């Protein structure tokens, strides 16, 4: 696996896979940001994996847009995008997936899951799949909700305080998208993760 790309700041990021390569992209937003990622696969057997987490509070607004274009056959794209929104924060995910005419045997998966920690937080999500080939696997799913109340009660019934229980559930929610000890995550982001209780001091 090639060295992952780590995106933590606003911008338009464009990648073209012109050889059968593996591309791994991590996105981490801990305050307002506007991130636009474009991936184009122009040769067969290219793979891209996008794993994004936005965890924001106050009146921050995080936008993550992905555009994945499969122009050749046998390509793979897996996207997992998660938002955790507190206070009056707003999140936006736009997932644009395009499988071109003749790009057969594509495996494309897009998952967007969001947790609202406050009644005033807002999430907008818009998956958009445009498929011109007929022999492909493409799936997408989006869900937005609160922390699982039945899980919280179960944990409290075992003596776990409600704040600790919430922290454990949030950590579980985010850690399958990002390895939280990721090398290259800049220092102030590590510090924020530590404050949020999502990572431990190394």
Partner 1 sequence: MKLLEIKNLHASIAGKEILKGINLTINAGEVHAIMGPNGAGKSTISAVLTGHPAYTVTEGQVLLNGKDLLAMPAEQRAREGVFLSFQYPVEIPGVSMTNFLRTAVNEKRQYEGKEPLKATEFLRLMREKKQLLEMAEKLDNRAVNEGFSGGEKKKNEIFQMAMLEPCLSILDETDSGLDIDALRIVASGVNKLKTPNNASIVITHYQRLLDYIVPDFVHVLADGQIVKTGDKSLALELEEKGYEWLNQ
24, 169, 180, 194: residue in contact with partner 1 (rule CB under 8 A): 169
Among positions 87-106, residues that touch partner 1 (CB under 8 A) are none
User: Which of 24, 129, 131, 151 lies at the binding interface for partner 1 (CB under 8 A)?
Assistant: 151
Q: Does 132 bind partner 1 (CB under 8 A)?
A: no
Query: How many other C-beta atoms lie within 10 A of the C-beta of residue 99?
Result: 25
Tokens read off for 198: 């999502």
Q: Are the C-beta atoms of residues 94 and 65 closer than 8 Å to each other?
A: yes
Among 26, 83, 93, 173, binds partner 1 (CB under 8 A): 173
Q: Assess 171 for contact with partner 1 (CB under 8 A).
A: yes
Stretch that binds partner 1, among 30-38, 39-47, 66-74, 142-150 (CB under 8 A): 142-150
* Beta bridge mates, 138: 108
| Cα 27 → chain centroid | 7
Query: Contacting partner 1 (CB under 8 A), which of 18, 101, 145, 176?
Result: 176
Q: Taking CB under 8 A as the rule, does residue 180 contact partner 1?
A: no
Quote the CA–CA distance of 137 and 197 in Å, as a whole number.
37
Please check whether residue 61 is in contact with residue 32, taking contact to mean a CB–CB distance below 8 angstroms.
yes
Q: With contacts defined by CB under 8 A, name the span among 59-67, 87-95, 152-160, 181-189 that binds partner 1.
A: 152-160
For 125, other C-beta atoms within 10 Å of its C-beta total: 17
If one asks whether residue 161 binds partner 1 (CB under 8 A), the answer comes out as yes
- 200 touches partner 1 by CB under 8 A: no
- To partner 1, the closest distance from the beta carbon of 193 in angstroms equals 16
Q: Which residue lies nearer to partner 1 by CB, 132 or 154?
A: 154
On whether the CB atoms of residues 109 and 140 are closer than 8 A, the answer is yes
Q: How far is CA 14 from the centre of its chain?
A: 17
Instruction: State in angstroms the smallest separation of the CB of 158 from partner 1.
Output: 4
Residue span binding partner 1 (CB under 8 A) among the ranges 66-74, 88-96, 109-117, 144-152: 144-152
How far apart are the C-alpha atoms of 44 and 86, rounded to whole Å?
41
Burial of 199 (0-12, 13-18, 19+ CB in 10 A): buried
Judged by the rule CB under 8 A, the positions of this chain that interact with partner 1 are 148-151, 153-162, 164, 168-169, 171-173, 175-176
């Amino acid at each position: 696996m090639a060295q992952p790309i780590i995106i933590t700041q606003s911008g338009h990021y464009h990648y073209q896979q012109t050889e059968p390569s593996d591309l791994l992209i991590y996105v981490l937003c801990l305050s307002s940001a506007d991130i636009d990622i474009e991936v184009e696969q122009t040769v067969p057997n290219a793979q891209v994996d996008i794993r994004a987490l936005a965890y924001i509070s106050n009146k921050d607004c995080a936008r993550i847009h992905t555009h994945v274009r499969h122009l050749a056959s046998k390509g793979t794209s897996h996207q997992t995008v998660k938002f955790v929104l507190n206070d009056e924060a707003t999140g936006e995910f736009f997932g644009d997936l395009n499988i071109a005419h003749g790009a057969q045997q594509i495996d494309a998966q897009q998952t967007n899951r969001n947790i609202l920690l406050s009644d005033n937080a807002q999430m907008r999500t818009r998956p958009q799949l445009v498929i011109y080939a007929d022999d492909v696997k493409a799936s997408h799913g989006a869900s937005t909700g609160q922390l699982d109340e039945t899980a919280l009660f179960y944990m409290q019934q075992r003596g776990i305080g409600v704040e600790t229980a919430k922290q454990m559930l949030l950590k579980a929610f985010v850690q399958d998208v990002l390895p939280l000890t990721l090398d290259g995550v800049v220092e102030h982001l590590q510090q924020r993760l530590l404050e949020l209780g999502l990572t431990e001091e190394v």
